[in-house]
Amino acid sequence: MIHSVFAAATEWVSPQIDYHALAPEIILAAGLCIVLLADLFLDESRKWILSSLAGFTLLGAMLPVLTLGLDESSVRSMFDGRYVIDEFSIVMKAMFLIAGYVVVLLSTKHVEEDEYWQGEYWFLLLSSILGMVMMTSSRDLISIFVALEFLSIPAYMLAAWRKRDIKSNEAGMKYFLLGVFASAVMLYGMSLLFGAANSTLLVDLGKSITATGGLSALHALGIVLVIVGFAFKVSAVPFHSWAPDTYEGAPSPITAFLSVASKAAGFVALLTLLLVAFPQASGVWQPFMWVLSALTMTVGNVIALRQTNIVRMMAYSSISQGGFVLMPLAVAGMTEVSASALRSVVVYMLVYAATNLGMFAVIIAVSRKTRSGEISSWGGLFSYAPGLAVLATIFLASLAGIPPLGGWIGKFTAFQSLLSSGTGWGYALALIGAVNSVIAFGYYGTIMREMWMKPVPDGDNTRVGIPGSLSLALAMTVVATLVLGVLPGVATHFGDIARITGAFGG
């Protein structure tokens, strides 16, 4: 036994490591260790330093991402193509880091005012973000799975952060059980795929389908199980039932984090799998995606209409937004559409991240005063906090897809790639999407009406105190929402086809 291990060791050659390409991950890993260590030596009154440390870690990790982005040289591929840094992964890494930074801003005061331990909070948050950053580059079943668990396990704990609150416990528990169940299903699917291809490398999976002269039942089953696993992650209907309870019980900044970053990570994995590993199996997953997308946006929307709690409403809203993100994937198997579908998903996620984080920033700010999650507590917000009300209106209108706010360009590109397929299925899904975008206004409008047209409950007109970190988060997100809407060229530039797909095909 030991002998064979040593024998293997002599053959082992250290792989070529591109430290520049790995710098974001290394900085994050170092940062989270520093946060954990610093927590040991800081006394209670100076714990605020931790949130700054977490913030600086994320900004620090942004630097190599920027230099990588500016570096026009070819794609950096490591470990036999299992870990790839291309335009797509750089854009998504930047998104996760910035979204993570906004979540840090949202959390700062929130965590300080709770009486729970701070150090672990920041440590777990950074770990989860590290998992997401790894996910963007993973091109191998194993690394995808490791990244997924890396981002999920801290998230389970963060959801249950307020451990003396029964709702938070429920949130963490549900999220954990269903998440683990999804992982198990996915892992089973991956094992089937490995059996069929004798490799975990995504590119090899794709090759094995062509090599065996078509799709075997083993392939089909494996693909479906893997997709189901990720459908849990992105809370697509009918795999969404954990989301509303988890979102309601988790601390608000974590809800924002889950609904944006964690969800986006699921989409990243889904995109890489579908477009790198299974482009030849589109016959299996296209109809599946079509149904998932139509169901997700419709069911999410219809249930959202009935909600009275704002976080639950945002949970269903985020489910339904996920349906819109999935839309182009229903036709993405066609070679002439896949590029625009990829672009559309990326653009949608960028816009959605900015807008949804902004909306959660407003929710956190408002609940500092109202101490309630009921939509009725938002009555008359415009009369005593016009700034927040206008910001919330901008974010909600963007989520509803009303130009010239960011959300419309996301919806637009999704429609565009559906219609470019020129198939009846594409048109039908576009129509369903169009009708759903109208239904969605029903509940976004409810919040707007509450803010602008209803009286203040109890006549309590005291101002809402907004801490500086929250103001910065609001400013960042509103600027992003407006700029992406008025000059979508900025977003579509990041989602530029040629720059992204060049690497993806490899």
Partner 1 sequence: MEMLRDHNWMLSVGTFLPLLGVLLLLVVPKANEQLIKKVALLTSIATVAVGVWTLFRFDFGNAGTMQFVDEKTWIPLIKSSYYIGLDGISLPLYFLSMVITLLVVIYSLDHIPSPGNPKAFFSLMLVLQTGMAGTFIAQDLILFFVFFELVLLPMYFMIGVWGGENRQYASLKFFLYTMFGSALMLVAFLALFFKTGAESFAIPYLVENGGALAKNVQVWIFAGMFIGFAVKVPMFPFHTWLPDAHTQAPTQGSVILAAILLKLGTYGFVRIAIPVLPEAAKAWAPYIGALAVIGIIYGALGCLAQTDMKRLIAFSSVAHMGFVMLGISTLTSFGMTAAMFGMVAHGLITGMLFFVAGSVKERYHTLEIARLGGILKQMPHLGWILGFSCMASLGLPGLAGFWGEFPAILSAYSPAAGLNETAFRVYMVIAALGTVLAAAYLLWLFQRVAFGEPKPEFAGDGHGHDDHAFHDVNKFEWFAWTPLLIAILVFGVVPNLMFKVLDPAVQVVLTGFKG
437 sits near partner 1 (criterion: CB under 8 A):
yes
Q: CA–CA separation, 168 vs 252, rounded Å? A: 11
| 140: three-class secondary structure by DSSP | strand
Closest CA to 470 of 336, 343, 379, 360: 360
Q: CA–CA separation, 281 vs 284, rounded Å? A: 6
339 sits near partner 1 (criterion: CB under 8 A):
no
Binding track, positions 447-486, relative to partner 1; x by CB under 8 A: -xx--xx---------------------------------
Nearer to partner 1, 232 or 452 (CB): 452
The partner residues of 309 in beta bridges, in order of sequence, read 374
Nearer to partner 1, 96 or 452 (CB): 452
Nearer to partner 1, 103 or 362 (CB): 362
Residues 375-404 that bind partner 1 (CB under 8 A): 382, 386, 393, 397, 402-404
- CA-derived radius of gyration, the chain: 22
Binding-site member from 416, 425, 456, 467 for partner 1 (CB under 8 A): 416
* Residues sharing a CB contact under 8 Å with residue 148, sequence separation 6 or more, in sequence order: 131, 135, 183, 186, 233, 265, 269
Residues 66-85 that bind partner 1 (CB under 8 A): none
The stretch near partner 1 (CB under 8 A) out of 58-66, 124-132, 458-466, 493-501 is: 493-501
412 sits near partner 1 (criterion: CB under 8 A):
yes
306 sits near partner 1 (criterion: CB under 8 A):
no
415 sits near partner 1 (criterion: CB under 8 A):
yes
Nearer to partner 1, 280 or 416 (CB): 416
Binding-site member from 413, 477, 481, 501 for partner 1 (CB under 8 A): 413
Q: CA–CA separation, 450 vs 456, rounded Å? A: 9
Q: CA–CA separation, 315 vs 234, rounded Å? A: 12
The answer to whether residues 320 and 301 touch, using CB atoms and an 8 Å cutoff, is yes
CB of 202 to partner 1, least distance (A): 27
88 sits near partner 1 (criterion: CB under 8 A):
no
Angle between helices 48-70 and 19-41 (to 10 degrees): 180
Nearer to partner 1, 202 or 304 (CB): 304
The answer to whether residues 311 and 255 touch, using CB atoms and an 8 Å cutoff, is yes
| 84: three-class secondary structure by DSSP | strand
Report how far Cα 33 is from the mean position of its chain's Cα atoms. Answer: 24
The stretch near partner 1 (CB under 8 A) out of 16-24, 242-250, 303-311, 422-430 is: 422-430
Q: CA–CA separation, 461 vs 222, rounded Å? A: 58
CB of 398 to partner 1, least distance (A): 11
Nearer to partner 1, 112 or 496 (CB): 496
* Residues sharing a CB contact under 8 Å with residue 140, sequence separation 6 or more, in sequence order: 79, 81, 82, 83, 200, 201, 202
Locate tokens 């979102």: which residue? 247
The stretch near partner 1 (CB under 8 A) out of 25-33, 115-123, 153-161, 443-451 is: 443-451
Cα torsion angle, 325, 327, 329, 334, sign: negative
489 sits near partner 1 (criterion: CB under 8 A):
yes
The stretch near partner 1 (CB under 8 A) out of 104-112, 305-313, 348-356, 444-452 is: 444-452
Binding residues for partner 1, per CB under 8 A? 343, 382, 386, 393, 397, 402-404, 408-409, 412-413, 415-416, 419-420, 422, 427, 430-431, 434-435, 437-438, 441-442, 445, 448-449, 452-453, 487-489, 492-493, 495-496
